[in-house]
Chains A and B, each alone.
Chain A
Amino acid sequence: MKKLIIALLISFASTSVFAGSHSPCGVTSGSINILANEFTTYRIFMDEVKSCAGPDADFNVTHSVDHNKLQVAALSANPAEFSAKLVTNGSITPLMNDGLIRPLDDLVAKYGSNLNDNQKITIDGKIYAVAFMANAQHLWYRESILNDLGIAVPSTYEEVIAAAEKIKAAGVMENPYAGAFKSGWNLGQEFVNMYLGHGGEFFISGTAQPNVNNEKGVAALNVIKKLTELSNPDFLTQDTNAVKEEWESGNVALMHIWNSGAASLLDDEGDQNIKADTRLAPSPTVGGGNKPATTLWWDGIAIATNTSDENAESSFRALVGAASSTDLANNNPNATVWLIKGYTPGDTAGPVVDAASRGTTPYPSFPHMSLMHGALSTELVEFLQGNESAEKALADVEAAYIAKATEQGFL
């Protein structure tokens, strides 16, 4: 945790000279083909990667919100369909499980002299990824609406619910709260946040046995249920991008979404009155816990195992050039919290730094976590629709997980 805070708060004296090392930019050989998630910050990052690669490079990037579903199949092929993948602490595990991304130590030694040490993601002593940004979900609110009703900025979910109820009762908004509750990965993530906020553990320590059907799980589900009752009735179809649209249409006064959303919510497009009224706040705690009910994420670059060394090197050069570009970070200080050397955090970095300093748990990186997340994605819907009890939903999650984990050889 400390490392991040130090990296963020202390502005490094930036040396833009790649002294004693090869300059990464200006790739002329090999082809670069990147798979990445789709959101504004990644677009900004990719523009920098492209300009670092230079005009002579064979450069391709595929942005897809389905990147998680594509990555294993795409990188398992030999040669892999993509030479590089933007990964997070969540999506790196399935790639590591199958050995689909390569150690980067030699490439980092050659081209990474301008990286911070905390950008190097080391697993068992080897660098497998280079992080360039930190992200977390946190609270967003409309200042004027809270002020008009005399509501203090909520710091717990109990207060969030009370505030939303007050806004609704005052007739200001019909559905004042929003979160990415779309059934699937997003809904699973909401539970992950809330369960960790209650101090839950997903697995019985030291095993792959599930451990969500307990008091903490039930409490987490009940909070989510209350929040969805204050959300747009279509909540099961709304992902982060849909929630942002709701926000920009002025339908929502409180939401819990990604810090990187600032890149599109606080840009010059859309209703500027809403933008001027938009405030960021730390992620709330829940159920008397002291950790915010959210997870810490890093986003980084990883290179496919099943690609030629030439492609791997050229892809790494372009990507690491962007991941160590102080200009990129300081020209877009509010796009996200960059981990890049010499970055001065912008106005929007606060909630992520706050989450890190209050001991928020990073997203769990167990090899079997994606199966748990998958089970959460599908089995919680009926509870939220009021068709089944929280205990039953969680029992279903465990049963679905066990069936999948058995098939995958984890149990």
Chain B
Amino acid sequence: MPHRTFFWFILPTALAMILFIGLPIVSSFFQSLHIENEQVLMEVENCDPFGCTTNVRVDVEATEKIEAENPLGRFNGFGTYTDRNHLAFDEIEEAWDNTSSIGEFKDIVLNLPFYKALLFTLTFCFAVTPPVIVLGFIVALSVNTLAKSLKGLIVFGTILPMIVTPLIGSLVLFWMIDSQGIIGASIQILFDDPNLSLKASSNLTWITLIIYGIWHNTPFAFVVFYAALQTVPQDPLEAAYIDGATRFERVRFIVIPHLYPVATFIMLICLMDNFRVFEPIIGFSAEGVAQSLSWMIYQDLRNENKMLFGSAGATSMLTILGIAFLLTPVLIRTWKEFKTER
């Protein structure tokens, strides 16, 4: 494609991306460098049904005046990034100086909110993505061999987990794993332990979330693999068949190499998606034991009475960096393949 044609072809997309992705990122970054203006407090007398007390309140007028002079808030540089609720440089340095063993140091670091969330996010990413690719591939292979009349229905059924809104899907599962729900009760009977609860221990909650993640993401891998399977050339397959290759060998030596780039693509999207894991945490009420980076942003914007824009902005930036970091190896690989193909 000539560069000129390409430019006009990409222009609308590029504009939309700058407007809806680029600018918000720049704006978030800008906000993450600022913190709120100082709050002016004053003493007042409050009276309510329980009596009158002297209390402090924010002097709204004085605070508004400061706000009008300095609408962005106070410039804090990368202070928010390095505070305890984010990268926590000071706390880590202190832990490094004051601990005698790596285990102790690890405990302190993983107790800091950002690293705790990062640990869960990464665990989720790497525990969910490989099974999704393998399962998606197996399901696609199986569906592909079905009789034509059945295919439509089965394909629909298979992609259902993806159609269900994540929050609803996780809520449904949350009630099913309740100690009185069908899965929870069955597990109690199976292990003969009336106190076994999937919601109570952090390990079991993590496993539940990961299984949910696999269930929810597999249809995506399936759909992509299934589409790609339709493009597998039939000639080599038939030749292999005539040469006496088993089904496994045909898949191993013809289908898999053909689908390899597709698997890379699925891995890319899955890693990116799972790094943003959020809805299942809310659906499973798992905030207590499993926090992700996205959940931290939500917490800053929703769970506080006042929105912590700076903090949320900083976590967003770190999330973007995290995704970029995670995808770099895959992207480098794709780029190399792209170049060798040329």
Contact = CB atoms under 8 A, between A and B. Distances in A.
B88 to A, nearest CB: 9
Interface residues of B, number: 56
Contacts of A407: 35-36, 76, 80, 83, 308, 310-311
A400 interface: yes
B289 A370 contact: no
Contacts of A388: 111
B306 A409 contact: no
B46 interface: yes
Contacts of A68: 305
Contacts of A121: 46-48
Interface in B180-230: 194-195, 197, 199-202
A124 B45 contact: yes
B199 to A, nearest CB: 4
Nearest to B296: A378
Given A233-B197, A378-B287, A399-B84, A298 B48 contact: yes
Contacts of B200: 233-236
Given A236-B200, A400-B84, A131 B48 contact: yes
Q: Which of B36, B38, B58, B111 has the most CB of A within 10 A?
A: B58
B324 interface: no
Given A123-B44, A174-B194, A183-B287, A97 B58 contact: yes
B304 A371 contact: yes
B23 interface: no
B51 A367 contact: no
A298 B49 contact: yes
Contact of B50 (A3, A69, A124, A404): A3
A377 B84 contact: no
Contact of B44 (A72, A124, A185, A403): A124
Contacts of B286: 237
B305 A4 contact: no
B302 interface: yes
A24 interface: no
Given A1-B50, A121-B47, A378-B287, A404 B305 contact: no
A97 B304 contact: no
B101 interface: no
A21 interface: no
B85 A365 contact: no
B305 A409 contact: no
Contacts of B310: 407
Contact of A362 (B50, B83, B202): B50
Interface string B89-113: 0010000000000000000000101
Interface string B61-85: 0001000000001101000100111
A367 B58 contact: yes
A98 B199 CA distance: 38
Interface residues of A, number: 72
A159 B85 CA distance: 39
Given A1-B51, A356-B50, A370 B56 contact: no
A214 interface: no
Contacts, number: 175
B285 A182 contact: yes
A401 to B, nearest CB: 10
A97 B39 contact: yes
A400 B85 contact: yes
Contact of A409 (B39, B194, B288): B39
B39 A2 contact: no
A97 B306 contact: yes
Q: Which of B64, B291, B304 has the most CB of A within 10 A?
A: B304
A99 interface: yes
Interface stretch (A88-96, A307-315, A342-350): A88-96
B28 interface: no
Contacts of B51: 1-3
Nearest to B80: A407
A406 B285 contact: no
Contacts of B113: 378, 400
B279 to A, nearest CB: 15
A291 to B, nearest CB: 13
Contacts of B178: 234
Interface string B291-314: 100000001001111111011000
B305 A406 contact: no
A103 to B, nearest CB: 11
Given A7-B49, A183-B288, A69 B306 contact: no
A111 to B, nearest CB: 20
B133 to A, nearest CB: 31
A409 B37 contact: yes
B333 interface: no
Contacts of A287: none
Contacts of B45: 122, 124-125
Nearest to A238: B285
A409 B74 contact: yes
A30 interface: no
B36 A408 contact: yes
Interface string A100-140: 00000000000000000011111111000001001000000
A268 B307 CA distance: 41
5 contacts: A98-B306, A236-B288, A237-B199, A402-B84, A407-B83
Nearest first, the 4 A-B pairs at minimum CB distance are: A183-B288, A94-B305, A233-B200, A99-B60
Given A118-B49, A236-B199, 14 more contacts: A4-B50, A97-B57, A97-B58, A97-B60, A122-B47, A125-B45, A174-B194, A233-B195, A298-B50, A371-B304, A387-B202, A399-B84, A407-B36, A410-B39
